[in-house]
Amino acid sequence: MKHTLLFLAAASLALLAGCEQASEAKKSYNAIVTTTKAAESLSASMEEAQTHQAERVKRGDTLSINYKELHKLLPSAIEGYTAEGEPEGESVQMPGMQYSSTKQRYRKGEETLSVQLVDYNGAATMFTAATAMVGTGIAVEDETQLMRSLDLGMKGVKGYEKLDKQGHQASVLLGVADRFFVTLEATGQKDTELVKSAARQLKLSGLARM
């Protein structure tokens, strides 16, 4: 009903304003509908995340995994890239909030690939903020960038991919089990195929079952 009223309003304005204004009215209407759908999708995702978080709280699972344990989830090599140095990480505690993170940098010649894993089990608000774009269905592409939703075909895993066309930097950002936030970034890329393939090599299915 809301969309119908918006369309009728746009159509009425178009009849008064002429062909050029009609085109602009249609663009405005499409933008409103797209934004509305994205907002509805975001709301649904937040409700789902809250349900999963409540289930973990009910069974007493309220703490994030220690960063040293997260280190063990990172591979020593991935997609021909080998680990560069030791992984970095930390576990942070503050009133009403607790999270852990780990990050490993990989190298193949002049190209680099980094993988970061954050466990937001004790910081639901931070998880929601980090994954705000996940599952909204928003897609943006022009001569300089690409950003769109991504489905890796894994249960409990949702995300989006990004490409800086001018800087040749590709990234994938994933929300796993409404708890973990995984980021992969690679330099020297013309598309996002490498980071998507690398994401599939991570043990995301195991995380999704937590």
**Range scoring the smallest mean pLDDT among 17-21, 36-40, 102-106, 176-180:** 17-21
Cα–Cα distance, 38 to 35 (Å, whole number):
5
More confident residue, 134 or 7: 134
Task: Tell me the CA distances in angstroms from 142 to 104, 148, 162, 164, 189, one per residue in order.
Answer: 31, 12, 12, 10, 17
On the question of pLDDT at 203 being above 50, the answer is yes
Q: What's the confidence (pLDDT) of residue 9? A: 43
Cα–Cα distance, 210 to 105 (Å, whole number):
25
Q: pLDDT-derived band of residue 55, with 50, 70 and 90 as boundaries?
A: low
Q: What is the DSSP letter of 18?
A: -
Number of alpha carbons in the 13 Å side-chain half-sphere of residue 15: 5
Handedness of CA 5, 11, 14, 20 (dihedral sign): positive
Q: Which segments within 19-168 are labelled E, that is strand?
A: 77-78, 81-83, 88-94, 97-108, 111-122, 140-141, 145-150, 157-164
Q: What's the confidence (pLDDT) of residue 143? A: 96
Outline where 99-154 has alpha helix (H). Answer: 124-130
- For residue 1, what are its two tokens? 């009903």
Percent of the chain with pLDDT over 70: 70
When pLDDT is averaged across residues 104-132 and rounded to a whole number, the result is: 90
DSSP for 77-110?
EETTEEE-S--EEEEEEETTEEEEEEEEEEEETT
On the question of pLDDT at 132 being above 90, the answer is no
When pLDDT is averaged across residues 180-202 and rounded to a whole number, the result is: 96
Q: What's the confidence (pLDDT) of residue 206? A: 80
